[in-house]
Structure 1
Amino acid sequence: MFQIEKQEFDKSDVKVTSPRKRHADLESYLKKSVELVYCCSIEEVLKYLKLPLDSSAWRLFIDSSKHSLKAVLLHNGNQHPSIPVAYSTKKEETYANISSLLNKIEYYKYKWEVCADFKMIAILTGMQTGYTKYMCFLCKWDSRATSSHYHIKYFEEHKVILPPLHIKLGVVKNFIKSLNTQGYAFKRIQTIFPRLSAAKLKEGMLVGPDIRKLLQDEEFYGHLSDMQKTAFDFMQLVISEFLGNSKAQNYAENIESMLIGFNNIGVKMSLKLHFLHSHLNFFKENLGAVSDEHGERFHQVLEERFKGKSQSVMLAEYVWGLYRNLDTSEHSRQAKYRKAY
């Protein structure tokens, strides 16, 4: 049998440390209730971070994934950091859970405008989730079971910000779905995105960077017919000069021309196209300042940061990290965190 020789070490070299308490002040503003971590005093958190208290300066972004449900305050104009105000890894995207979340963060005290995808908007406005793909919360366009729709009126429509990113994804998706899958244009898309499955390409399921890459591909454009090129040109104008950071003076004409072009090449009317067709006046003046794209990026950051864990201390640590990166914070050095805004 081998004998393990005991080794003595100098105890003077041992360092005893205690858990960091840098975020202790923030933990008093965060609570956990039935698997939901939420901010119970948003005003105090904003004061702590020395950020504007005016509710009109912020919009509330609500989103969910298969891993979590989250609510984040986004600054209108995107000049200040995003503030997570609620996070859960257990709660699903249902009307009861969303209404509970809004009550916990005292939404009706602040009444921020809300930016979310169309599924979340449907939940907020009390529509039946089984029919939301075919429904508009401003009118009963292509509705089913009309006697049951809008039976719950929990949210004010004028507080809803239409999601520019999701509308842009929907516009491009509808254009791609109208292409002949055996044609050269569609085969070019398969060449551009070899890692995407045939099923996803057929449904036009591209993300923001993919869309930018597709719009800049000259070979793809060259394979389009004359009518498709006309529709494609106006689609580019609508994306860059209406759904982006700038708005052209003739944006309404561009949208109308795009819709006419879509109709000519057989693009089917969808809910997202319906908003451009029937509710153009409902869009904000500057979509770039209130875009859901900013929230989607932050959504991914939280997914990566928390990795399915839901604890108030983690949220407090995140907010403290924002404070640590403020130019006005009194610290000798800056933490090298990747900013999420």
Structure 2
Amino acid sequence: MSSKKRLENLDLIRALAIILVIYYHVTQMLIGNLFSNRTLFYFGHHGVTIFFILSGFLIGGIYYKQEQIKPSKFWLSRFLRTYPPYLIMLLASWLSVYITRNEHFDFGFLLLIQNFYKEIPYFLISWSLAVEEHFYLLFALLILGISNRKIQFYFWILLGISPTIFRILFYSEGGEFGFYKTASFLHIDALSIGVILAYLVHEKKLTIKVKTWHLCISFVTMITIFYIISKHENIYTWSLGHTLANISIGCWLLFSYHYTTIKLAKSAFIKQTAIMAYSLYLVHPLVIHFSMAVFKKFSVTSISLQYSATLVLIYMVAYPFYYLVEKRSIQIRDRLLKT
């Protein structure tokens, strides 16, 4: 099977992940109080976890496909890929809260430590970007400190297990959106599982003859676990439930990687959504807030109109942001690092 087919299926996973996240936030902010089924509403929250595992798999793949890699260049490549677009949207988000409520700029956002705050003051979705950046740094330090890939593998296994215990120790019911829900050590297992899969696939050359029923069962299992976690929010679903969710996502990703190209993955919409996933993630919260302000000003009460208009506007903003900011950032990185 060609890598193109594998990547198309992974693009489908990436597109689904960002669609889930956007669905979650649009529903939460526009019609959250009217949404009677909390379980279905909360489903979109798991899109971030899918992103984490996919990211770990792809970054691990970059590493394990090469005989040798320079840690500093590896980290700098990821930093230049993600930080400039993040910085632009951070400033845009801060300007919006400064204008509306005179919020002062928090320099912790520049250091990406906001996910360790007791409560994140604004640009809430940036917590997951902080987790990602901490993961990139950890990956580079691990390469620098440990050259033996087998020992590295054991380290990733340890990181794939320990957050389950951390989630129990630091469990906090309700409360502010910050440290107890967003700290990096509570989510590093998802990224670690992705790296573990990358090691097995690219270093150990693991191949699986996947049949359609394998893919279907893994997907249904994943959705079932999502349903249980969404319906019952307690210490067990937060700790062990998320661990099982990570494993189920990992199985679904592994089967999708080895499966023939799924027809839906070939659609233009899925391909474009996957390409713009990072831009969509960055811009969508500010677009939702802008839409809400417009709907309030012009007394737009139709929920269907609010929903559809917001979704269209998110894509309309993300499209130029990708080509003018994110893609340009990638080009500059490639020139600087000559990749």
**TM-score bucket (shorter structure):** under 0.3
- Considering fraction of residues, name the structure with more helix: 2
- Considering fraction of residues, name the structure with more strand: 1
TM-score of the aligned structures, taking structure 2 as reference length: 0.26
TM-score of the aligned structures, taking structure 1 as reference length: 0.25
* Relative contact order higher in (CA < 8 Å, ≥ 6 apart): 2
